[in-house]
Structure 1
Amino acid sequence: MERKTVELPRPDAMIFDMDGTLFKTETLLVPVFHKVFDRLREEELYAGETPPEELILGCLGMLLPDIWRRVLPHQSETVHRRADDLLLEFELEGLQQLDTELYPQVLETLQELKRCGVRLFVASNGLEHYVKGVAEAHRILPLFEGIFSAGEYKTATKVDLVKLLLDRHGVSRAWMVGDRSSDVEAGKRNGLTVIGCAYAGFGDGSELAGSDVLIGSFGELIPLYDQAKEA
């Protein structure tokens, strides 16, 4: 995509969001979403139609409690926690049974970045077994030095999760790569360069405001890295 010329510092590491950045989430989430509501109705925990798919897709990047407060605003915490369990169960099943997808050029780009000596990490607001399950199912798990999830570390915000990652791995010069405002905030508040992924299209037009650069495909990371300035 067209972008203004920006001189970026060359990173030692890149930190990636998962949903909407590496993983084409709708290839898993849409069928799983319907299964969750079918089961909630079977268990008499929910009555009525399944909410629109666009509603949960618009919540990608949020913590699960915030997602269910938006998708199931009139249901109890008991229903929300049951929805958590069902979502994870059906997602893990789906990763084995459904034809899910990474975005184009993700595998090749990650391999090239690693070959160039870039340390690779994931920071996601998702559940631990889901985030690691996606990476394992799509054979990118060995490329990452660390996979950090809000589900595993119980962080309240992505800002906190990224700070934990930076501290634990001694990372000081990194790019935060993601598609949601929470990624932009996590990067900026931790002093990182932010690369906004504009290809998923789950958020509104202001979602990536504040990014240093917007990319229209994952493969654009390679020329950005090649052109970045050594410290």
Structure 2
Amino acid sequence: MKKTLLTLCSVLCCAVLFAQVPATEKQALLDLYVDTQGDQWINTWDLNEAVADWHGVTVENDHVVSISLLFNNLNGKLPASLGNLSKLRILELSFNKLNGEIPAQLGQLSNLEVLALNANGLSGTIPETLGALSKLKQLHMSSNKLTGTVPASLGNLTAVEVFNVFDNDLKGSLPAELASNNNLRELMIAENDFVNTEIFSVVLLSNSGSGLNLKSPSLSPQAKTIIAIESPEDGN
């Protein structure tokens, strides 16, 4: 009996030790590795190790919940399969060499709280699908090559606290719903060509802290509060 219990305990311990994330989630990570030249990353992955041991990957309850690969020399396009990481809460890929468009499939990440893609070479438009990220608290897309307008659907991001599209080639109107969002505390929109910045009561300095450059008529009396902000790598 005692031997049976010891054997059972050993099996359970091994099951926990070697627990695997779902195949679709592991494949999404492998796609990211291949599509962004993972063998050239500064901190690369040993694909023979458990996913939980891969640099920048956090696994909880056998699901990938966080990917943080800042300053890691990712070079290439983001794979659409990232949208299969259903439990992902944090996707932090800032300060790399990502290019191409932001996959619309990121809008499937219903648990996502932080999406950070600052300082890459991403182009194209912001996907309308990102408006479905109901739990998103931080959106960072500064210093890319994004064009077009900010989709009206992003006005549905009622939980968003930080909205950062600083230094792109965006134009037109920002979603009016953002201006009435009581959760919004940091708005970084300088170095674009927006036309309705006067509707916002809180306007923030650019990441450099050098001042406002909204490329729009002077701010209305509503813009009463100007707050210097810290860049995301300092903890925001």
Which structure has more strand as a fraction of its residues? 2
TM-score, normalized by the shorter chain, greater than 0.5: no
What TM-score do the two structures reach when normalised by structure 2?
0.29
Which structure has more helix as a fraction of its residues? 1
What TM-score do the two structures reach when normalised by structure 1?
0.30
Which structure has the larger Rg over C-alpha atoms?
2
- Tell which has more relative contact order, 1 or 2 (C-alpha 8 A, sep 6+): 1
